[in-house]
Structure 1
């Protein structure tokens, strides 16, 4: 049976000591998250994750969801009670506005406990995760009436939400979308069409499901400019908020999937279902991107979450599994063999996993803090800077952390050897569950294109230049500190490679767009290397200061110095390989004719 323990100590170190979140007490909700409250919320979230959600993870994988002849879907046993406890604890509305029943606490805190919940049971947590994305879209683009009608029940968890984009012939290219919306003349629309891959599209854990559906109003322009977004509930709801008759919404089938078996991934059919326009007519893509950007950060969190859970299990196995002797002499001579944790190759895997997970956690929380500043600050300049960084980092967080999360799951499985390949230890579930995070909410190749094709040039490159300055200033401020030299030298080299890659793209991508496409994936990962390295620089700087002052957890802080140095010595040098591939251009990549493959 896999194990899991929420990394509360590490989360506290990042939020409290590295990010110094209390300096943001001027932002709405932050003053309510005092250090004691922060610690209490993380502790309670850990208990729910470890004691309620985690024991059901394997149950969900083995049992899966079931669709019945009437189109209804039941979730695995235990999911109902766990979801009820999640909602009863107020977790759904942790960072939502108080006027609709939320607690208005920082998104930073929501992200912190969200990691624990997804590590414990990713499939189950997709039900509230999709709901929170739908809540964000209605908050941003809904009318006052729509907010009052839909949000309170969604925030309390009585109703759940989904996002419906993909169609059988239409994945990322939403301009091909065929679902149609016909005005009825009374303010509503009749929505018809089919959507596929809809997570949490049908289930029996909530009284109603609020679908957000992209469709084209009759007569609207072709392509993405003619797409609108609609609220389409499973059951109709009157003006008083009372749930009534079934709408024309049904689950045609459940997808047979590689992983996340505990989540109901549905083919959804809309047959003149009653829907309500949210946002502007033909402005559906803008409204949906509010939901998608929230979801992309959530998917990046899933990559981190699976990586952390897989790492913990690999460590436990490496300490127990006896095999061979240490190259430097027996470490446990009273036994027939040493535990495999003594072997350098096992250490390489464990240190790589840990170095990525700890910096990934810091990066995700730092990005969540930018979201809080962008949405809660009264300072227009601070909001702009934070919003720029949030937009820039979203594809990096999603693409890099999910790629690394899958890599870590495979690496952890490898620690188990043959025992990782069979189902007994549960490692294959981590690999299978992690795989989807690289695909949905925009496959990672799309994230890379978004970063290179849109985010770099946005506002004249303002965001990327601000990021370069942050990292460059950090290196310069610590240049004369000998204790920081092992970290800042590697970080500076990575930043130089990233800046060189950016310059190469500026000089070579405009005239030949294939150069940008060919470079994009390496560029995203090069950016991620530097971003994670920047987090290690900040964590090490904080750890050194606390050790010098005799503060904090000495063992943990000293471990930070070692793991951070490992990152700079063994992982950051990959920046040179990424730069070399980027600079090679697209000629050989695009050199063969399609029929030659």
Structure 2
């Protein structure tokens, strides 16, 4: 079934939740405003619906394969990519110095939702390029930036990230790939696994970012350096010339995202160039990882949106049951189907608001001239990133599964296409750091390390929205009660973690996922209520699309009544601690 970009909700979030025009004004982007953003989204929506979305099933049925010249991408992908690159989509948020359009990160995020909804497997290729460009632009020297970024910004070359090794997994301290100095470059040798779009024939070059160790590097993560290793070395004119010592050894056979080649990459005495300083590769890579983690969270939103659109259309068309007059009933009129669709719709709106909000904080941290404000926005980015990555991707598992459930038995049949979204979504809670890793980051580095200061500031901001609710006549009091109750649980969860973590070595690890999910639900509720307040104000003054605004009020009400109560279960499990989790003898598992 076809894909349509939900431009109306995206525009609403940019205008009323993010405050896009004010963000651009504060950033000094005088020629950028919401009208431009809407025009960009409209064009991206056409590209997504007409060019990229039709290849979604093609990639699923005809995966990338390894041939004599390397990885051969799915049919039609190269032609779509060339059109995509020629239209300038990869340069959207790149600095003008490297041929980019210098548009805000949050607009890039809104556009990326389109690519990921249209075709998650395809969308991974530009997503990885964007992450690689982010790391190069922040940490590489001027020569490397000028050599690689312009061609990557145009899409002429793509980029990858090479972290994981078979013996290392998420433990990057165990990385064994070696880098031996040789004149103005290094010789890289080792093997990397799970490399998304590690090879293909869509572009004349691929720029690999690779973690490796120098011969005299200290042990552990402090001894990792970051290198640029191109697929083809550049000639005197800066064009791809001699083949470098890097190749794809094999492709993984996966549950989903079949159109995205997941490669085992071998670096055999390959020439590489050091990014930044030696032994600082991990923090450099995390520049890309934080970008990637928010982007993967966005993928959770995007695939859920695609599944919702398909389920919604099916529910309106599928007839089951009869009225007294003998006419058939579309299943969207059945209460349980309504329940499932409302879970999908309200959760997706909450997810979109959170993804855009976190992305906008990156812009605010980048553009502000005030040192104090820069630190506050940077801290908010750090705080929200694990929630965006963890909560949005966990929700994508539930929502794509509900998409199948709306179909009933037909959803389990591959021909309907509903199952593909579920299969494609399953990787999202795993790559770029599992939900458990995000949760440990959230409870440890983002809460315990600053004694909950950043989280307290977020809760106080939420309380201001609760005050607004109390001060107006809102259409339904359950919204106020539901949000206030969940906000109280967030306050209690923070206090409980700060007061109990030191007493139990296993507490943080045991409570972390429930802690993260609680704040995911709460953040979603906060932003839906914030949007509903704006929608009510617009309805009171007769502004905007009344039907859409009424739907925003109903989404917020449903979320507060049916989704936010989950925060209570998370709090109860969190407070239960680690005793029952750690008590079972290993031989009883």
Give the TM-score of the pair, scaled to structure 2. Answer: 0.98
Q: CA RMSD in A?
A: 1.3
Which of residues 133, 136, 157 is equivalent to 1:135?
A: 133
1:469–1:22 Cα change, 3 Å: same
Equivalents in 1 of 2:223, 2:311: separation in Å? 50
Shift of 1:242: 2.2
Equivalents in 2 of 1:140, 1:547: separation in Å? 45
Q: Secondary structure at the match of 2:159?
A: strand
Contact 1:29–1:106 (Cα < 8 Å) also in 2: no
Match of 1:176 in 2: 174
What's the CA shift string for 1:178-220, capped at 9, x where partnerless? 1111111x12111000000000000001110000000111121
Q: Secondary structure at the match of 1:509?
A: helix
Match of 1:576 in 2: 568
Contact 2:451–2:498 (Cα < 8 Å) also in 1: no
Equivalent positions of 1:468-507 (< 5 A) are 468-483=459-474, 485-507=477-499
Which of residues 444, 449, 452 is equivalent to 1:461?
A: 452
Question: Does structure 1 residue 522 correspond to structure 2 residue 514?
Answer: yes
Match of 1:342 in 2: 333
Which of residues 225, 229, 234 is equivalent to 1:232?
A: 229
Match of 2:353 in 1: 362
1:29–1:120 Cα change, 3 Å: farther
Match of 2:398 in 1: 407
Match of 1:78 in 2: 76
Question: Does structure 1 residue 245 correspond to structure 2 residue 235?
Answer: no
Equivalents in 1 of 2:490, 2:446: separation in Å? 15
Question: Does structure 1 residue 116 correspond to structure 2 residue 107?
Answer: no
What's the CA shift string for 1:547-579, capped at 9, x where partnerless? 001000000000111111000011101111111
Shift of 1:165: 0.5
Shift of 1:132: 0.4
Equivalents in 2 of 1:124, 1:254: separation in Å? 16
Match of 1:586 in 2: 578
Which of residues 523, 547, 552 is equivalent to 1:555?
A: 547
Question: Does structure 1 residue 448 correspond to structure 2 residue 448?
Answer: no
What's the CA shift string for 1:384-412, capped at 9, x where partnerless? 22111110000000010011112110001
Question: Does structure 1 residue 433 correspond to structure 2 residue 439?
Answer: no
Q: Secondary structure at the match of 1:229?
A: strand
Shift of 1:374: 0.6
What's the CA shift string for 1:64-91, capped at 9, x where partnerless? 1010134x11111111111111111111
Shift of 1:28: 3.9
Q: Secondary structure at the match of 1:5?
A: coil
Q: Secondary structure at the match of 1:437?
A: coil
Equivalents in 2 of 1:382, 1:117: separation in Å? 32
Shift of 1:334: 4.9
Contact 2:109–2:356 (Cα < 8 Å) also in 1: yes
What's the CA shift string for 1:485-509, capped at 9, x where partnerless? 4323212211111121111111111
Match of 2:536 in 1: 544
Shift of 1:453: 1.2
Contact 1:29–1:104 (Cα < 8 Å) also in 2: no
What's the CA shift string for 1:80-139, capped at 9, x where partnerless? 111111111111010110110100011111111111111000111111110000000001
Shift of 1:458: 4.0
Match of 1:65 in 2: 64
Equivalents in 2 of 1:28, 1:20: separation in Å? 12
What's the CA shift string for 1:34-56, capped at 9, x where partnerless? 23212211110100011000000
Equivalent positions of 1:216-295 (< 5 A) are 216-238=213-235, 240-295=237-292
Shift of 1:479: 1.5
Q: Secondary structure at the match of 1:454?
A: coil
Question: Does structure 1 residue 314 correspond to structure 2 residue 287?
Answer: no
Equivalents in 2 of 1:523, 1:550: separation in Å? 40
Equivalents in 1 of 2:582, 2:34: separation in Å? 55
Match of 1:200 in 2: 197
Shift of 1:382: 2.3
Question: Which range moved further: 72-81 or 545-554?
Answer: 72-81
What's the CA shift string for 1:309-368, capped at 9, x where partnerless? 10011011111111124xxx65xx452x31111111111100000010011111111111
Which of residues 208, 211, 217 is equivalent to 1:211?
A: 208
1:193–1:262 Cα change, 3 Å: same
Which of residues 275, 294, 297 is equivalent to 1:300?
A: 297
Q: Which runs of 4+ in 1 moved over 4 A?
A: none
Aligned pair count reads: 588
Shift of 1:238: 4.0
Equivalents in 2 of 1:172, 1:511: separation in Å? 27
Equivalents in 1 of 2:156, 2:167: separation in Å? 33
Match of 1:107 in 2: 105
What's the CA shift string for 1:410-449, capped at 9, x where partnerless? 0011111111111111011101100011110001111111
Question: Which range moved further: 491-500 or 396-405?
Answer: 491-500
1:36–1:476 Cα change, 3 Å: closer
Equivalents in 1 of 2:452, 2:141: separation in Å? 34
Equivalents in 2 of 1:150, 1:246: separation in Å? 16
Contact 1:28–1:104 (Cα < 8 Å) also in 2: no
1:239–1:283 Cα change, 3 Å: farther
Equivalents in 1 of 2:257, 2:28: separation in Å? 33
